[in-house]
Amino acid sequence: MRMSELPPAQIPLHETADVVTARRAARELCEQLGFGKADQTRLATAVSELTRNVIQYANHGECVIENRSTATHRCIWVQVRDQGAGIANLEQALTDGYSTSGGLGAGLPGTRRLVDQFHIESTPQGTCITIVLTKPL
Amino acid sequence: MKIPILRLERILLVSIQVDLTDNDAMQFQSDLVEQVAEIEALGVAIDITALDVVDSYMARVINDTASMVRLLGAESVICGVQPFVALTLVEMGRDLLGADCAFNLGQGLEILRTRIATRGDTRLSEDENV
């Protein structure tokens, strides 16, 4: 497939405008790979949540969006990472209704529900979240 | 990025046509609340037909704005939530958009007018001195 030759998008995250750039890039790749509108919206929203967390809690980081489609599946892989102080209580952060910033507390648990795979690693040296959206061709 | 706020007698209409950054969203919120107070608006319709992503932050800003408007004494309605936005918001979590909604601006205005009428405040026009 032609799309798989595209280099991964690497979006630096420094200010709130980068959140918009990242979610747009995610939606575009989603659309190009033939995901439906529902999945496009899910992924764009998930990327928006995760990249905002970076700006809000770690000041800066980056978002990598890759096409990892295979012969049988269309697949988008997104990694959002930062070198911030990490998440002190991961279990709590993944609990519905929990927010340290006065948000609605839907951030991480909500994002997890939007994607097919969700993986988080957080240490005092930084946080790295990987999400994957796949669909059989 | 400034979101234009249109005035129709004592109803304010806002149509968000661009993808807002968080800062834009906060600016929009304070602009709108300020203007509602200034003209003592009776109702506010916020049209988000053009928004194809509403994440939890944006949902909170929209909700909060609707509540603030109501606290001031005006009615508020959110118009044109896209089907996939609705789907995503519900999948993410309950109560992300708690404000009153309408399919489109036309229906939103109708709801506002009915509410204002039942509220007993008939001064839709500006002739307060009558």
pLDDT digits 0-9 by tens, B59-97: 999 999 999 999 999 999 999 999 999 999 999 986 667
CATH number for the domain harbouring residue B69:
3.30.750.24
- Are residues A17 and B21, on separate chains, in Cβ contact within 8 Å? yes
Q: Does the pLDDT of residue B40 top 70, yes or no? A: yes
- The alpha-carbon gap from B85 to the nearest alpha carbon of chain A, in Å, equals 7
The pLDDT score that the predictor gives to residue B94 is 60
Mean pLDDT of chain A: 89
Tell how strand B43-47 and strand B75-79 pair up: parallel
Q: ipTM score here? A: 0.85
Q: CA B3, CA B96: separation in Å to the nearest integer?
A: 23
Q: Which residues of B touch A23 (CB under 8 A)?
A: 53, 55
Q: Which residues of A touch B66 (CB under 8 A)?
A: none
B123 in a domain, yes or no? Answer: no
Q: Does the pLDDT of residue A136 top 90, yes or no? A: yes
CATH number for the domain harbouring residue A99:
3.30.565.10
Predicted confidence band of residue B25 (pLDDT cuts 50, 70, 90): very high
- Are residues A19 and B53, on separate chains, in Cβ contact within 8 Å? no
Q: Which residues of B touch A116 (CB under 8 A)?
A: none
Q: Which of A19, A37, A104 sits opposite B56 (nearest CB)?
A: A104
Q: Does the pLDDT of residue A112 top 90, yes or no? A: yes
- Are residues A107 and B60, on separate chains, in Cβ contact within 8 Å? no
B39 in a domain, yes or no? Answer: yes
Q: CA B65, CA A79: separation in Å to the nearest integer?
A: 32
Task: Tell me the average pLDDT across B22-45.
Answer: 96
| Sheet (strand A126-136) strand order | A9-13, A61-67, A73-82, A126-136, A117-123
Q: Which residues of B touch A25 (CB under 8 A)?
A: none
Tally of domains within chain B: 1
Tally of domains within chain A: 1
Q: State which residues form the domain around B33.
A: 5-118
B49 in a domain, yes or no? Answer: yes
The pLDDT score that the predictor gives to residue B49 is 95
Q: In this structure, how many other beta carbons lie within 10 angstroms of the beta carbon of residue A99?
A: 15
B124 in a domain, yes or no? Answer: no
Task: Tell me the average pLDDT across A20-32.
Answer: 95
Q: State which residues form the domain around A41.
A: 2-136
